[in-house]
Structure 1
Amino acid sequence: MAELPWSETEFQAQGAALLARDGGCAVWQLRNKSGEGTITACEVFPGVMLSFNDLHMGYYDCDFSAGRELLVIDHCREGRMEYCAGRDALAYQQAGDLKLDRRKRHTGRFSFPTSHYHGLTAALDAELAARSLPEAFRDFPADPRALIEKFRLGEYPRVFHNAERIEHIFGELYQAPQKLRLPLFRLKVLELLLFLDAMEPPEDDGRAPYFCRTQVEKARAIRAFLAEHPAQRHTQEALSRRFGIALTPMKSCFRAVYGQSIGSWLTRCRMDRAAELLLADRSLSIADAAAQVGYESPSKFTAAFRRVMGRTPSE
């Protein structure tokens, strides 16, 4: 573990507990009041770590400080993660996104708005990997230090949305057979670095749309308010006035944070609540369940329930 970008001591310093070791990989558990998750970290080359992140939690507090030059490649398979995109600015990595980072701003609270995040991270100690990769694969051309320069990585991450051209690499990493795991990890990490070495950086600066922290806090407050009062009906204009945020930024910020519109999120919230009510009390009528989540018409409620849940309330 001494040659990994994250040492065992650093994992432990972040509150992670070692669960198991197996064939060059270590499984770490994270746990707090918002949930728990695991990180499976594997050393694929000296100075190169590949980790699989499976988190079912609302947030995680981190005070990691690199102390050396790192190149970190994050891929999101499912869920969403909030990250710092600038001074008092927040942005979101979502499924299919590729994020390049130096971990210069990797402290504070990282939020997972949908309370789950699944993805992988390839972390390279730039100096050590620059020596070990050519030793493992003669004349290997991709130098992590050069990639940092090529993609103009600074204090904040660069995110590339819907990186379809590179998706096959990550797909094969997620589906690696157990007995071929480490050899395949090595091949795919090399392929990933070669792809980045050949890739032309896009003309934009790779920064995702970001929002001021105050806007995000208001989006969270709107979500909490609606979840607490599912039977009440509020227009989006009324929500905009109530929480002191202009209508268009309110809509776009809520969608960025939670991955769906306010209306779609509220419908799902109501249907989940209705399902809980119906399961808890088998004698509850569909009309009563509908009324408790804001529907005056049982037929409209039934149609919405079928669309969201894939079955009728009576099934």
Structure 2
Amino acid sequence: MKQFQNNSLYYDVDVKIIKQSEHCIFYEMRNDEGKGSIKSYQVFPGIKLTYNDFHMGQCPYHNPLHKDILEINHCREGRFECNFINGMYTYLGEGDLAVNTMVNNRIIDSTFPLEHYHGVSILIDLEDAAKMISPILKDISIDLYILRDKLCAGDRCFIIRAKNSIQHIFSELYTIPDEVKYGYFKLKVLELLLFLSIIDTSEQFEKRTYFQKNQVNKIKQIKQFLTQHIEYHFTLKELSKRFDISLNSMNSCFKAVYGIPIYAYIRTYRMQVAASMLLQSQYSITVIAGNVGYENSSKFASAFKAVMHISPSTYRKSH
């Protein structure tokens, strides 16, 4: 178990080791926000693959023991927010892949804006992994240091938005049977490294990947304002003026943070609140509709069915 002896130092103090074996370590995190779990597998010397499952807003703090670690993250569900030391923010959505280095603690904070996140991370200790890669891939050239400099030049976070080639690599990792998983992990990690080594970075780089701190803070204030006043309907112009942010910036940044446009977000939130009220109260559907901002109960019923895929009355009866 020597290969895992320092893993307890890798995450912050809120993360506890629940189980540990020769090739796997299982972490759990619980606080007032919710809970999360991390299953970390040793795939090769210097390379770990982890499954991340969180139902909370805060991501556990990474504390790399030395600087040369390459981190690859694939988001299956939810959203991932990364706050860099330069005051900029970037986001990972469903199906997206991100590659970054843990150099000099460039990342101040990481959060889950939707308060849930599921995905896979691959952590590569470049010094140890580089010694292993060459003997395994005798006929294929993969230089991990060149790969790092290619994807993360200028300390950037390299992001590939959801596409079939990424889905092909990761989809089976979420359903692989236990009896073949260790061998399959090895194949998938090598496949991913080969894919990244030949990718054309000029086609993948996005000019608008990052958002400024003041923009993100205003967007979070807008979200909080809307969710605290769900009985009212505000126009985008009203929100833009109230929070002193341009319409274009407000719309693009809100979608980056929460994954969907403002109106779609608040409609979904209203229906989730309405669903809770249908189950936990004896209020009529008309009263519940009014509580979430719908004077017309038929329009509320249509919106509820569009989001929850079932009518309000049927939802109440079936649950």
| TM-score (ref. length: structure 2) | 0.91
How big is the shift at 1:229? 1.2
Aligned length: 313
1:32 matched to which residue of 2?
A: 31
Runs of 4+ in 1 over 6 A off after TM superposition: none
Q: Distance in 1 between matches of 2:289 and 2:114?
A: 25
Q: Which residue of 2 aligns with 1:253?
A: 253
Q: Distance in 1 between matches of 2:12 and 2:125?
A: 19
* Cα distance, 1:172 vs structure 2: 1.8
Offset from partner CA, 1:142-171 (integer Å, 9 cap, x none): 121121122243423111112421321211
1:214 is matched with 214
1: CA distance, partners of 2:258 / 2:142: 36
The alignment partner of 2:153 has SS state of coil
Q: Which segments of 5 or more consecutive residues in structure 2 lack a partner in the other structure?
A: 315-319
Q: Deviations over 1:46-97 (max 9, x none)?
A: 1111111111111135262452312221111111111135721111011111
Q: Deviations over 1:6-30 (max 9, x none)?
A: 9323235443211112451111112
Which position in structure 2 is the counterpart of 1:192? 192
CA spacing shift, 1:84–1:158, aligned 2, 3 Å: farther
Looking at structure 2, the residues matched to 253 and 197 of structure 1 have their Cα atoms a distance apart, in angstroms, of 31
CA distance in 1, matches of 2:143, 2:67: 16
RMSD: 2.1
Rounded Cα–Cα distance in structure 1 between residues aligned with 2:126 and 2:253: 35
CA contact (8 A) 2:83 2:109 kept: no
- Partner in structure 2 of residue 273 of structure 1: 273
Change (3 A) 1:61 1:144: same
Amino acid at match of 2:302: A
Paired letter, 2:168: H
Distance 1:140 1:20, change over 3 A: farther
Compute the TM-score of the two structures, normalised by the length of structure 1. Answer: 0.92
Matched, 1:181 2:218: no
The separation in 2 between residues aligned to 1:206 and 1:247, in whole angstroms, is 21
> Residues 65 and 107 of structure 1 are in contact (CA less than 8 Å); yes or no, is this contact kept in structure 2?
no
Q: Provide closer, same or farther for how the CA distance between residues 3 and 21 of structure 1 changes in structure 2, counting only shifts above 3 A.
A: closer
1:128-147 correspondence to structure 2 within 5 Å:
128-147=128-147
Q: Secondary structure at the match of 2:149?
A: helix
Moved more, 47-56 or 127-136: 127-136
Contact 2:11 2:62 in 1 (8 A): no
CA displacement at 1:184 relative to structure 2: 0.8
Structure 1 gaps, min length 5: none
Residues 152 and 13 of structure 1, relative CA distance in 2, 3 Å threshold: closer
Contact 1:92 1:208 in 2 (8 A): no
Percent identity, aligned pairs only, is 36
Corresponding residue for residue 97 of structure 1: 96
Q: Which secondary structure does the structure 1 equivalent of 2:201 belong to? A: coil
Amino acid at match of 1:298: S
